[in-house]
Structures are given as C-alpha cells and as structure tokens.
Structure 1
C-alpha cells in the first residue's frame, strides 16, 4: 500500500483544529489568557497584546560590561537602550550621552557582564512551562527538534504573543521517521500512513509527512538517518534511511522553502545526510573527515548536542552509561576537527521530557572540546542565529537587534560556566522573573 493517490493536505479548518489541539496539549492557551487578563496587566506583568500583539517592552540596561560576540569587543560602563523590544542603541555611557531615554525602567548591571540572550539550536519544547524554564535559563531564541503533536508550533505562537513567556522559536512540527507511533493521531492528514506495513519509507510517504508539517506551519523539517542513542534497545549506528530517502525528504522540504535537520551518528549515515542536502547535522558523534570537508564545502552546520551525550554517562542504565562514556570523547574530537576546518557549529542541548538543560552548559562543553571561549560563545549566539535565519536580528546587542539580554556574574570569556547561572534575563525588553512557587 502507498499514499501516492492521497489528496494533498487540506486547508484551514483542519489546520485550525490540529493547532488548537496542540495548544491545549502545550498549555499555551491558558498562559495567553492569563497574560492578557486585566489582573495580570494591573499587577505589572507584561500582558499579551499590550500595544499590539507581541509588542516588546522598554528597558535600559546600564552600568555593566558589554560583550559583542561578533567582534569580541568589550565595553566597560555600557548602556543598552531597548524600546518596543528592539535595541535602539548600545555602547559606552560616554558615547551614548543624551540618547538614553528618561522615564524608562532601568536594569542596573554594575559589576556584571552583559551579552545577548542565548540560542538553543536543538531543543524539544512541548509545554508552556518548559518554554518559560528555557527563558529563565537564558535561552531567548531556539529551534525545535520536533514534538509529537505539533506542540512546538503552539509554543512558537505563544512566543509571538507574549515574548516573555517563551523563546523566539523555529518549529519543526512532527518527526519524519519510519515509525510515527502515536504521532499518527496528531493530524487526520497523517492517518493514511497507518496502512503502511513498512512505515514511512517510500518517497510518497516521506513527502506526505513533510507536506503535512509545512501545511501546519513548520519552519523547518526534522528527520533521522540513524536509530537513537538514548534508547538501550536501539543501535545508534544502524541506518534507518538511505541517501535516496533522505534526498526525497530534503527535496520536499525545499519545495516549501525549508531546510532539514537530521539526527545522525554513524559516519556513513552522516555522509549520506550531508550529501543529500540537509541544513544541519545533529549529534553526529562518528562524523568523519571526508564528511566534515563536505560540510565545509556546503556550509552545512554541525549541532553536536554535547550536553545530551554527556548526560548519557550519568544514566542508571549500563548500556546508556557506556555509550555516554564512549561517545563523548569521540564527539569532542569531532567538534574540534569541525571547528579547525571551518565547519559552522551551533549549540543545542537536545533537552526534552520536561527537563531543560541550560544552553550555557553546551558552551562550556564546546570550550572543553578545544574551542576558544569566544568561539564557543558564538555557537550559542551569532553562529546559532545564522543557522536559524536570524543572523541580522539575534546574537548581538546592537542597533536593530532583538532586545534579548543576558546579565551574568562574571566574565564569560574567562569562565563560560557563568552562562549557566544568569543573574537577569531580558526577553524582547521584558525582564523575566521566576514565578513564586
């Protein structure tokens, strides 16, 4: 059986119903309703829709040491002026002079370092609570590594309406994988795939999942070439899609103007994925030199998710713990080799399951792999922003960039570990505060 003759994904009513269900699962509707309530607005919390849906806040961050990841420039006694959620000016107090507005809230950062909010290029945000936790840990922009029922698309809409509640998000929708499992229940347009004896493997079936994702508003497409490392009964070196199948996924995504991120481990799998035209290689523990050279030639990004691999070593399952101990040093060597060849690198934690790891920890691991501290920081700022298509608006605190700010207690170039413990987080000009228990 196949899905070759199944009509294309249908229109607006189906999309509206699917995404309403995703919002209910993610809990974003309730958060938006609370944020928009008169009680929330009168209590001083930024209400969704104040001054227009998703309008940013006004804030002056003053007195800290400003770091620009793009240039490495450090500015003492700096001032960052944010209005409407956008940076209008940034630099030394002496240079800005009278360009600092009065009667605007002020965040005093004396004795601290100021840098742009961080980017997590591979995270699974299934709920509003996870999204807010990510922001509190310094993630102000992110790319989804897929969700089972389009929850990431709901989280993306939450971020647009109430930016202090969630990172700006590039959503991947549902995973393009041979066995969709319960994801078949996510959308009636996926139901015909339940008839397939061998799962989602034919060109028609692969194209179908991509098209449904795009019809539901996905910004990118997530697929895999290998089995998972985080499941002890799977072999992460076993290949599940070949070059031809991966090429079909990439072609379908490109027809919709989207790129593909690909879960990978084995060298052959990595090479097949890269030569098929993916936009970024995820995990990639055993990526080899020939594939890294191909990535450099194609400008394919490498998102190694060192945090996730390191976390396996702490598993109570002996198979997973051994994988973590074995894979991490191999992956660190691959990261350093990629950096030395000029392959673009992006930080991603692969956080999922209700636990959000600070992307600052990924920067720490990039540095431990051999990257200079500034280059490690760029994997979670300018480099990651470029991967997400946000290079002109995210990753720096300069005029016209997003008013996303991280304030930390120390020099991140001397100790990247300070990035894991933000003193203050600003998202679109709003100070984000931890909610009382």
Structure 2
C-alpha cells in the first residue's frame, strides 16, 4: 500500500477533536476540580483563586520565597538567607536578603531552614492521566518531556498545564510512538487507520513519514521512535534491532522537515550508533552504548538520557528475567553514564515513569551521583542540562530574573545528600505554592 497516496492529515481534526478526546482519556474532567494541596503557609499563594487571561489561560501567581538557602545550578553559587520574588509566574528578582526589593503585601512562603532550588526537569516520562501529572509535579518535576503516549494524552496534559499550572508540569509532548507495531494505537487517529493494512507494520518510508506527519498535525512537539525492542518485557530482547539506519534517517528527516527533534529508545551499541548517526536529538536508555558512539554524540551534541531509575527498577521485578536484566544492566549503564560525562556528552535526567507509577525525578539525580558525577553536575542533569535539551534553557533550570517561577524547597543540602531531592518539602509551580 502506498501511504503517500492518502490525503495529508486533517488539520481540522486536531485542536478540538483530538484534544478533547485525549483530555477525556487523561482524566482532565476530574482534574478540573481543585487538587488537594499540602498545608500552606498562611500567606502563601496557592492554586486557588487563579487569574485568567482573555484567552482563558491561567496567569502565573505572585509569591515571595524568603529565608532559604538558594542554589543556582548554572553557577553553583549558594546564597544563604535568600529571597526569590515571583510575579505573574516569572522570577523578577533573586538574591540575598537586603539586595532584593520585596513587593508590599505580596504572599510569602517561609523557607527558613530549607534549601531552595529551581523546579526539576524530567526529560523522559509517560504522562497519560491527570493523576500522573499531579504526582510528577508534587515530586518536584515542574517541567518534563513526554516519552510518548498511546492516544495523544500527553498533548492534552500539555494543554492542562498551560491552563492550570498547579495540576501538571510544563510538558513537551511526543504524541504516539513511531514503532513497527502500532497495535491499538492505530486507532488513536483516523489518519493512522490505513496503516493497519500493512502486513509488515510501520517500516516503509511512506509509513514512517505518515506517522511523523500525523503526530505533527496533532500538535506533537517532538518525535519518539525506537531502534531496539523493550527491556521491560521479558519476552522481548532489548538487543534486537527493529529499525535500520536508513529507516531511522527517514524518521529524522521527516521530523526535521517540521522543525522537530527525535528521541530514540536504544540499547545495543549497534542500534545506538545507527540512531546517533541518523541524526537523533537524544539517545534514551543506551545501556550498551560504546566509546565510538559516545564520541559521535559529543561531536554532534547528541544528548544522553539514561533513565537509570527505570533500569534500577527492573532489579526489583517479580519476574526473574526482568530482575536479572536489571541487576546486569545497571552497572553497565552506570559506567556508560560516567564515560559519557567524562567525554563531554550532555546528559539529561529522565525517569521513564509509566503505567500509573511515577518515580521521583530526584531518584534519577541520586543515581547520576552514584554513577560518579559530582553532586552539582548530577543536579544539572535535571535542571540546566535537561532544560537545554528541551529548548527551555532561558525559561527553566534556574531561579534568576526572567525565568519561570518554578521552585522546590528541600529539608536538606542537595550538594551533600542527593536523596533529599526525592522528597521536596514544598513545590512552587508558576508562582503557585502547592
């Protein structure tokens, strides 16, 4: 079948139809009710009482965070007794008390005895419901990049975050997976259903382009594909390659035609090398990535998102195949992460959370630290580094003038103990204290 012979994806189906359907799947009707919040300081801004713009989008909150120890991941500077002023969801000033003018009557959040950091970035997460989005946010992920969903739920979550930032992280959506077997996902969009007739699945150049085109038409920000089978299914071999270099190049070219980058699920060294040389933007998992490919990644500026916490989680599986896979893969991946870092390959933290279980992004930072990164460099993988991967380096990853008013408050020093990042004492999203 020649998929190219079909008419282009319908733009009219996009914004209302697909977003409305995805919103229902994501559970945003339930999310529209006020989310339960942690007990707030008496004066602290909260998601209640949001102000709306003429378009219906939520304006950011106004909040002053006072008295904490402020860490700037970009510089490594630590400021004691700091003040952060957030107005309309954006940082207007940050620095030591006395150097920052505090607006009269502004709501305040007492951070005395706590460390204050920018909200974290989860660069690989699967958010299919409003409940998952809230869980990620409460665990400190104020920004994230989707690793794909089955029915465009991530696009609905992205819109939910724009209108109700207290309910979801700022999200870069990937839409559906470009994979040989779409399974039930072929029903995610009427423009995909002709692909069900393909005996060999989504493998031809026409079919690969078709899935990319439909994703773009439905509002995807990035494209997700794979080169290897999955590690989390005992019946699959993660070293088996499912797409060739030529097929991956077709996906990358189709994505670039629309200004989109590609993230690629990868495990084997050959698969990793094919994906990187095909031009992907970031390599996901990458357990067996070798020195040759890491050198190519450094030269091209390809990011590495190792999802250490997902691989570590396999070791706890009740399935003996998965448990052995996790125990075997984790030390290999830790060595790959350290080698990548030492070579200068940019790293981004991602949990690969899915299926209703949201892992704390702080756990990924903790594992980056355990792999051999310094505490500050490990923190950067979930702040400034991940922000650059998402194209948000001027928006998130720091609490500095002009950046988003996203913050986490911690009960300990993250430079001394990365474990404190797994349990933020408070989360601030767009100036709203949750």
**SS of 2:65's equivalent?**
strand
Q: CA deviation at 1:2?
A: 3.2
Q: 2:298 maps to which residue?
A: 296
**SS of 2:98's equivalent?**
helix
Distance 1:34 1:72 in 2: 37
The TM-score with structure 2 as length reference comes to: 0.96
User: Where does 1:325-344 land on structure 2 (aligned, <5 Å)?
Assistant: 325-344=327-346
Are 1:48 and 1:161, in contact at CA under 8 Å, matched by a contact in 2?
Answer: no
Q: 1:26 maps to which residue?
A: 26
The TM-score with structure 1 as length reference comes to: 0.95
Q: 2:401 maps to which residue?
A: 399
Q: What stretches of structure 2 of length at least 5 have no aligned partner?
A: 36-44
Are 1:32 and 1:158, in contact at CA under 8 Å, matched by a contact in 2?
Answer: no
Relative to structure 1, is the Cα distance of residues 421 and 44 closer, same or farther in structure 2, using a 3 angstrom cutoff? closer
Distance 1:45 1:317 in 2: 42
Q: 1:9 maps to which residue?
A: 9
The structure 1 residue matched to 2:278, chosen from 276, 279, 288, is: 276
Q: 2:377 maps to which residue?
A: 375
Q: 1:177 maps to which residue?
A: 179
Distance 2:219 2:50 in 1: 21
Instruction: Give every structure 1 segment of 4 or more consecutive aligned residues whose post-TM-superposition deviation is greater than 4 Å.
Output: none
Q: 1:132 maps to which residue?
A: 134
Distance 1:423 1:63 in 2: 15
| Cα distance per residue 1:185-216 (max 9 Å; x no partner) | 11000011000000000000000000000000
**SS of 2:121's equivalent?**
strand
Relative to structure 1, is the Cα distance of residues 44 and 347 closer, same or farther in structure 2, using a 3 angstrom cutoff? closer
Q: CA deviation at 1:59?
A: 0.3
**SS of 1:334's equivalent?**
helix
Are 2:14 and 2:219, in contact at CA under 8 Å, matched by a contact in 1?
Answer: no
Distance 2:14 2:95 in 1: 49
Are 2:47 and 2:166, in contact at CA under 8 Å, matched by a contact in 1?
Answer: no
User: Where does 1:145-164 land on structure 2 (aligned, <5 Å)?
Assistant: 145-164=147-166
Distance 2:93 2:291 in 1: 43
Are 1:15 and 1:215, in contact at CA under 8 Å, matched by a contact in 2?
Answer: no
Distance 2:207 2:26 in 1: 27
Q: CA deviation at 1:103?
A: 1.0
Q: CA deviation at 1:11?
A: 2.0
Matched, 1:74 2:78: yes
Q: What stretches of structure 1 of length at least 5 have no aligned partner?
A: 36-42, 433-437
Matched, 1:59 2:63: yes
Q: CA deviation at 1:13?
A: 3.5
Distance 1:47 1:8 in 2: 43
Distance 1:51 1:17 in 2: 23
Q: CA deviation at 1:310?
A: 0.1
User: Where does 1:248-327 land on structure 2 (aligned, <5 Å)?
Assistant: 248-327=250-329
